[in-house]
């Protein structure tokens, strides 16, 4: 099988490693590679050399001759990437869209792919990918989902068909994200505010009493780090969540606020507040309080 990865960020590189370990011929393209040299693009090229992934210079070149194309880009680019890949897709090939986009966006992406006689399948990644890697729980949707599922199983994916109707898998993912990404934003807001007032220990004790099965200190640290590292991508995803909520006829008050908090954290990270600049990996703090103190010190400076 020949496979193409569109998007060579964290998700793309993890999948490349696991697929190459299974001997799958893999090509990849990322818009970062088409830009001027940078720490991010240099890291992509080093990774590709190490794992023998062929880097293409365009969407069409990457997907040419591929039996399976996997799109793993930022949520806002899901439709544009499907459109950019469409001219190079082979008849009968599969296009697996893993992007965290709204059901409406998935349907629009499918129109571009299916018009070429390729087969569009939506994918919804249902939890954080790094711990599970290629075995991350994956929901599939669309008329061709059942045909792709055994192929993915042979490649090592833990995929199951949610529905033959497009949008069902994505709606499941988006509704989950209202809760999970919202909880991240709430923890950052609540814990940082509690740190300002010196009541964080009382807060955590109260949370333990109400939800005794959760290690709130550990969970808080995990949430802070995930948002620090991936806040920009999360903000884009939650904006798609807000679209999904709106498509259901509800005002997306929670999702909209979550997107703003995630983007705000991304802005702080981009400014170097958390010790990372120019593509250098973030230092992982063992205690969320370290990050909360950095935020509070910056707010004091700004005010």
Confidence band, pLDDT 50/70/90 cuts, at residue 276:
low
Domain of residue 217, CATH code = 1.10.1040.10
Nearest CA to 99 out of 174, 29, 14, 38 is that of 174
Q: Enumerate the β-bridge partners of residue 161.
A: 140
**What's the number of domains the chain is made of?**
2
Instruction: Report how far residue 103's alpha carbon sits from residue 124's, in angstroms, rounded to the nearest whole number.
Output: 11
Q: Which among 164, 194, 218 is the end of a domain? A: 164
Q: Which among 164, 189, 217 is the end of a domain? A: 164
Indicate if 106 and 198 belong to the same structural domain: no
Q: What percent of the chain has pLDDT over 70?
A: 97
pLDDT at 284 over 90: no
Indicate if 180 and 155 belong to the same structural domain: no
Indicate if 145 and 271 belong to the same structural domain: no
Rounded to 5 degrees, φ, ψ at 2 are: -110, 130
Indicate if 127 and 198 belong to the same structural domain: no
Confidence band, pLDDT 50/70/90 cuts, at residue 281:
very low
Indicate if 83 and 98 belong to the same structural domain: yes
At CA 210, angle to CA 208 and CA 215, rounded to 5?
A: 30
Pairing of β 158-163 and β 25-29 = unpaired
Indicate if 46 and 183 belong to the same structural domain: no
**DSSP H/E element including 95:** strand 94-97
Q: Which among 129, 164, 199 is the end of a domain? A: 164
Indicate if 192 and 96 belong to the same structural domain: no
Domain of residue 108, CATH code = 3.40.50.720
pLDDT at 277 over 60: no
What pLDDT does residue 17 have? 97
pLDDT tens figures, 40-58: 889 999 999 999 999 999 9
The residue range of the domain holding 136 is 2-164
Record the pTM: 0.86
Indicate if 11 and 131 belong to the same structural domain: yes
Decide if 134 contacts 15 (C-beta within 8 A).
yes
Indicate if 176 and 160 belong to the same structural domain: no
Indicate if 146 and 269 belong to the same structural domain: no
Indicate if 114 and 228 belong to the same structural domain: no
Decide if 265 contacts 276 (C-beta within 8 A).
no
pLDDT tens figures, 120-137: 999 999 998 888 999 999
Indicate if 157 and 175 belong to the same structural domain: no
pLDDT tens figures, 73-120: 988 899 999 999 999 999 999 999 999 999 999 999 999 999 999 999
């Amino acid at each position: 099988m020949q496979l193409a990865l569109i998007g060579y960020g964290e998700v793309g590189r993890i999948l490349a490693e696991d697929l190459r370990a299974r001997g799958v011929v893999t090509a990849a393209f990322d818009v970062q590679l088409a830009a001027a040299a940078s720490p991010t693009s240099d890291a992509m090229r080093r990774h590709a050399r190490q794992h023998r992934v062929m880097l293409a210079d365009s969407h069409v070149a990457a997907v040419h001759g591929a039996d399976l194309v996997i799109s793993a880009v930022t949520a806002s680019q899901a439709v544009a990437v499907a459109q950019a890949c469409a001219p190079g897709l082979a008849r009968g090939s599969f296009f697996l869209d893993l992007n965290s986009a709204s059901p409406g966006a998935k349907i629009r992406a499918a129109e571009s792919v299916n018009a070429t006689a390729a087969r569009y399948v939506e994918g919804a990644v249902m939890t954080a990918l790094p711990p599970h890697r290629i075995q991350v729980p994956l929901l599939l949707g669309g008329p061709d989902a059942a045909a792709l599922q055994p192929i993915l199983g042979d490649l090592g994916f833990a995929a199951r068909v949610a529905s033959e109707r497009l949008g069902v898998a994505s709606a499941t993912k988006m509704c989950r994200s209202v809760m999970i990404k919202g909880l991240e934003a709430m923890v950052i807001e609540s814990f940082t505010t509690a740190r300002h007032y010196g009541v964080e220990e009382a807060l955590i004790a109260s949370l333990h009493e109400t939800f005794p099965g959760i290690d709130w200190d550990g969970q808080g640290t995990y949430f802070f780090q995930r948002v620090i590292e991936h806040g920009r991508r999360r903000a884009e995803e939650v904006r798609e969540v807000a679209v999904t909520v709106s498509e259901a006829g509800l005002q997306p008050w929670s999702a909209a606020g979550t997107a703003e908090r995630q983007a705000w954290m991304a802005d702080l990270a981009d400014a170097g507040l958390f010790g990372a600049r120019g593509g250098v990996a973030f230092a992982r703090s063992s205690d969320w309080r370290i990050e909360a103190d950095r935020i509070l010190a910056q707010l004091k400076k700004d005010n």
